[in-house]
């Protein structure tokens, strides 16, 4: 929320006592920015245009004030909300029902295509106070005379730009031409295309315009990373590795096609992950079941196309994986908006192939945010994790399962084969249980990335080479955060260090370029000042963020992480910012007060 303005409360905004009680019971503590600004305007009877991204709390921004105006004695629709999809209509209707908990006898009805008219007719006849519907179906009901608008007080267009994209604009106008003259309108949209502006000009009366910038808010709650991968098999391997070492509540994975949602879900299930797919072909009833399972935690990974995931609001989503890169920056923003809902933390990982690097740049430009590269966890880290799990499973099975049948069989076997050790028997059983897939990955396999010969993670020696000219000067190996992915050549690093730190290039040792980082050998006793300068030095647009390459951060790739994290911690890399800071502090203590032994003024041999 806002950092310097005093935060207003729901009470300040003038909502009724009963609504305040409801908000308290559902645990909303303070209004979100869009709510803060829209609620009083709407309570005062103004029309409103609200512009904000998804996940900013728009539903409550219009529903709370407009519900407060409903007269429960009038048994007819007083509030009509149009939403672009069935999913959203249901979702908004559920939210409205929740917000109206304090209103005895209140009824809201979602109406959408695909559901039988009968189901919708009965409540309409009985009388409902609010209707949430998709444009086409609302139009049908108005035409049939089953939805009467005589008592309508307020009208809401939710996600107007989305409705425009889906081709509903004429339907919307048709409906708007039929609502009573004296009414209040709220129009919400993430973007404001011209057509929407025109609709607003035509139908809204002196609207108050509320615009909420969420870019920076997204930035603080969603940590965004990308990972270079090439080829289908590599993508699947990369995904599996990430899944193996990442702790997540729920993950949503975006792919380009319907077939891929199913394929990937099958592959992940086969690898033991709890995954399911949603796409446009899946029947509504089945879709609702899948999403429910996902919400409840019966399924942890959902693979979806953009269309199928539209409007999905599942607070437990902690990770978004863009398995296939989105078609444009806007879809990217929508996709990652599935996590980090309402101020929670979320993580987004984008898979990028070399050909897709331009799209990555576009996304960074449009979102005005840098997306940090990550390295995939190495085979070594995966293996450590698998061994840990293997051992944990044994302990858990011994503690929690009934072993009596097998104890008997194993003991019979042992008596019949006295020469076979217990270890051998146990190992044989483990092998049977493991099946054909080996437990451990080969740690010699090349890693991912452009130039596989250059990315043998396990073989980066941490020890520095000696200098050709000055073999007596002790050197240390450092890691800098630029590499092939930033199109960096050794000369760029050499030049930057020589210029920025005023270091004679003869004192700069071996430089090796890897995909996501490089190593450079520098004199051991580098003073703090120089180290600081090098941290901030920029090469090809990226900060060097130099750190000492110890065994610890040499292994550094994607590590397991705790569920509750600190915002500043590197979320995927073991060599998170905190570790780095640690290194720097060590250096600072060691280095303070020492004279540079390698400055230009130093006499040469
Ligand atoms: P939008 O329509 O802008 O995408 P929603 O209305 O669907 O956003 O709200 C997103 C999520 O934020 C929902 O889970 C909702 O319950 C929650 N939420 C909304 N307002 C608040 C609030 N003031 N405090 C806490 N959570 C909120
Ligand atoms: Mg919404």
pLDDT for residue 7: 66
Low-confidence winner among 242-251, 286-295, 340-349, 420-429 (lowest mean pLDDT): 340-349
**What distance in angstroms lies between residue 150's CA and the mean position of ligand 2's atoms?**
26
**What distance in angstroms lies between residue 14's CA and the mean position of ligand 2's atoms?**
22
The 8-class DSSP code of residue 546 comes to: -
Q: Is the pLDDT of residue 155 over 80?
A: yes
Strand, helix or coil for residue 45: coil
- Alpha carbon nearest to ligand 1 atom 23, residue: 31
DSSP string, 159-197: SHHHHHHTT-HHHHHHHHTTS-SS-EEEEEESS--HHHH
pLDDT for residue 390: 92
Residues 6+ away with beta carbon under 8 Å from 576? 569, 570
Q: What is the pLDDT of residues 25-54, one digit of tens each?
A: 888 888 888 999 999 999 999 999 999 877
pLDDT for residue 381: 87
* Residue 3, phi then psi, degrees to nearest 5: -90, -35
Residues 231 and 188 in one domain: no
Boundary-marking domain end, from 211, 235, 250: 211
Question: 284 is written with which tokens?
Answer: 């509504």
Is 195 domain-assigned?
A: yes
Residue at token pair 């209004």 = 31
Boundary-marking domain end, from 353, 376, 399: 376
pLDDT for residue 568: 33
Report the pLDDT averaged over residues 348-367. 86
pLDDT for residue 454: 36
Residues 55 and 111 in one domain: yes
Question: 91 is written with which tokens?
Answer: 């979702």
Residues 42 and 189 in one domain: yes
pLDDT for residue 582: 33
Q: Are strands 518-523 and 475-480 parallel, antiparallel or unpaired?
A: antiparallel
In the structure, which protein residues have their CB atom closer than 6 angstroms to any atom of ligand 1?
A: 28, 31-32, 35, 54-60, 313, 315, 341-342
pLDDT for residue 553: 54
**Cα gap 372→516, rounded to integer Å:** 10
Residues 418 and 365 in one domain: no
- Closest-approaching ligand to the CA atom of 158: 2
DSSP string, 283-324: -HHHHHHHHHHHHHTS--EEEE-HHHHTT---TTEEEEEESS
Domain span including residue 250:
222-376
**What distance in angstroms lies between residue 55's CA and the mean position of ligand 2's atoms?**
7
Strand, helix or coil for residue 339: coil
Residues 424 and 484 in one domain: no
Is 595 domain-assigned?
A: no
Residues 275 and 335 in one domain: yes
- List the one residue out of 145, 152, 181, 185 whose CA is nearest residue 78: 152
Is 2 domain-assigned?
A: no
Alpha carbon 20 to chain centroid, angstroms: 31
Residues 41 and 173 in one domain: yes
Q: What is the pLDDT of residues 413-443, one digit of tens each?
A: 999 999 999 999 999 999 999 888 788 988 7
Residues 187 and 50 in one domain: yes
Is 47 domain-assigned?
A: yes
pLDDT for residue 556: 35
Rg, C-alpha atoms of the chain = 30
For the chain, what percent of residues have pLDDT higher than 70? 84
Is 82 domain-assigned?
A: yes
- List the one residue out of 483, 462, 450 whose CA is nearest residue 372: 483
Residues 6+ away with beta carbon under 8 Å from 393? none
**Cα gap 15→30, rounded to integer Å:** 13
Query: What band does 313 get if pLDDT is binned at 50, 70 and 90?
Result: confident
**Cα gap 220→557, rounded to integer Å:** 22
Q: What is the pLDDT of residues 372-406, one digit of tens each?
A: 898 888 888 889 888 998 999 999 999 999 999 99
Residue at token pair 């799209």 = 359
pLDDT for residue 552: 59
pLDDT for residue 342: 65
Strand, helix or coil for residue 349: strand
Strand, helix or coil for residue 331: helix
Q: Is the pLDDT of residue 23 over 70?
A: yes
Q: Is the pLDDT of residue 585 over 70?
A: no
Is 441 domain-assigned?
A: no
* Mean pLDDT score of the chain: 82
Pocket probe mutation, ligand 1, options 30, 48, 53, 59, max atoms within 8 Å of Cβ:
59
**Cα gap 53→58, rounded to integer Å:** 9
Q: What is the pLDDT of residues 108-145, one digit of tens each?
A: 999 998 888 888 888 998 899 999 999 999 999 999 99
Is 399 domain-assigned?
A: yes
pLDDT for residue 488: 84
Residues 367 and 427 in one domain: no
Element holding 476 (H helix, E strand)? strand 475-480
Report the pLDDT averaged over residues 305-323. 88
Q: What is the pLDDT of residues 436-465, one digit of tens each?
A: 878 898 876 544 433 333 333 445 677 777
Count: domains in the chain: 4
Residue at token pair 């050197």 = 475
Is 442 domain-assigned?
A: no
Residues 156 and 207 in one domain: yes
pLDDT for residue 229: 87
Report the pLDDT averaged over residues 144-154. 95
Q: Which of ligand 1's atoms lies nearest the C-alpha of 10?
A: 23
Pocket probe mutation, ligand 1, options 11, 29, 51, 60, max atoms within 8 Å of Cβ:
60
Q: Are strands 79-82 and 154-157 parallel, antiparallel or unpaired?
A: parallel
Residues 473 and 405 in one domain: no
Sign of CA dihedral 486, 491, 494, 495: negative
Q: Which has the higher per-residue pLDDT, 379 or 19?
A: 19
- Alpha carbon nearest to ligand 1 atom 18, residue: 57
Q: Is the overall model pTM greater than 0.85, yes or no?
A: no
**Cβ(51)–Cβ(193) below 8 Å:** no
- Alpha carbon nearest to ligand 1 atom 9, residue: 57
Element holding 387 (H helix, E strand)? helix 379-400
Residues 418 and 493 in one domain: no
**Residue 251 belongs to domain with CATH number:** 3.40.50.300
């Amino acid at each position: 929320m806002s950092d310097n303005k005093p935060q207003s409360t729901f009470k300040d905004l003038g909502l009724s006592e009963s609504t305040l009680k409801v908000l308290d019971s559902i645990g909303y503590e303070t209004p979100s920015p869009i709510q803060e600004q829209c609620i009083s305007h709407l309570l005062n009877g103004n029309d409103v245009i609200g512009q904000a991204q998804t996940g900013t709390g728009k539903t409550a921004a219009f529903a709370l004030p407009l519900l407060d105006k409903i007269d429960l004695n009038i048994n007819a629709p007083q509030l009509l909300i149009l939403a672009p999809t069935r999913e959203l209509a249901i979702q908004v209707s559920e939210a409205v029902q929740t917000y109206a908990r304090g209103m005895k006898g209140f009824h809201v009805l979602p109406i959408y295509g695909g559901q039988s008219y009968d189901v919708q007719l009965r409540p309409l006849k009985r009388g409902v106070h609010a209707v949430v519907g998709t444009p086409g179906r609302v139009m049908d009901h108005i035409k049939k005379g089953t939805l009467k608008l005589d008592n309508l007080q307020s009208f809401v267009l939710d996600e107007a730009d989305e409705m425009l994209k889906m081709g509903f604009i004429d339907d919307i106008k048709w409906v708007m031409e039929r609502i009573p003259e004296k009414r209040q309108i709220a129009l919400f949209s993430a973007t404001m295309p011209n057509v929407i502006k025109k609709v607003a000009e035509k139908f809204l009366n002196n609207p108050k315009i509320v615009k909420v910038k969420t870019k920076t808010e997204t930035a603080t709650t969603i940590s965004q990373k990308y990972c270079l991968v090439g080829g289908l098999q590599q993508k699947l391997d990369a995904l599996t590795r990430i899944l193996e070492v990442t702790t997540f509540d729920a993950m949503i994975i975006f792919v380009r096609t319907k077939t891929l949602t199913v394929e990937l879900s099958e592959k992940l299930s086969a690898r033991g992950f709890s995954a399911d797919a949603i796409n446009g072909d899946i029947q509504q009833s089945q879709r609702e079941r899948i999403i429910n399972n996902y919400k409840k935690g019966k399924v942890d990974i959902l693979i979806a196309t953009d269309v199928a995931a539209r409007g999905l609001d599942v607070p437990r989503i902690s990770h978004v994986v863009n398995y296939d890169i989105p078609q444009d920056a806007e879809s990217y923003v929508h996709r990652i908006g599935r996590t980090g809902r309402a101020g929670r933390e979320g993580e987004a990982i984008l898979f990028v192939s070399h050909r897709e690097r331009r799209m990555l740049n576009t996304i960074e430009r449009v979102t005005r945010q840098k997306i940090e590269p990550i390295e995939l966890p190495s085979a070594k880290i995966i293996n450590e994790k698998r061994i840990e799990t293997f051992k944990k499973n044994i302990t858990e099975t011994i503690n929690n399962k009934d072993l009596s049948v097998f104890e008997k069989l194993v003991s019979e076997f042992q008596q019949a084969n006295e020469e076979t050790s217990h270890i051998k028997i146990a190992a044989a059983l483990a092998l049977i249980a493991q099946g054909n897939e080996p437990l451990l990955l080969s740690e010699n396999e090349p890693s991912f990335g452009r130039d596989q010969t250059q990315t043998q993670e396990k073989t980066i020696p941490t020890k520095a080479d000696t200098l050709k000219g000055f073999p007596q000067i002790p050197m240390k190996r450092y890691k800098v955060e630029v590499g092939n992915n930033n199109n960096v050549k050794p000369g760029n690093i050499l030049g930057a260090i020589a210029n920025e730190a005023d270091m004679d290039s003869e004192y700069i040792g071996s430089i090796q370029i890897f995909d996501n980082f490089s190593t450079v050998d520098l004199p051991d006793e580098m003073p703090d000042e120089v180290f600081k300068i090098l941290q901030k030095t920029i090469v090809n647009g990226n900060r060097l963020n130099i750190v000492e390459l110890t065994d610890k951060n040499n292994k550094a790739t994607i590590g397991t992480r705790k569920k509750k994290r600190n915002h500043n911690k590197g979320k995927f890399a073991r060599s998170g910012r905190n570790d780095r800071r640690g290194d720097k502090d060590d250096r600072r203590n060691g280095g303070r007060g020492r004279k540079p032994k390698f400055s230009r003024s130093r006499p040469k041999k």
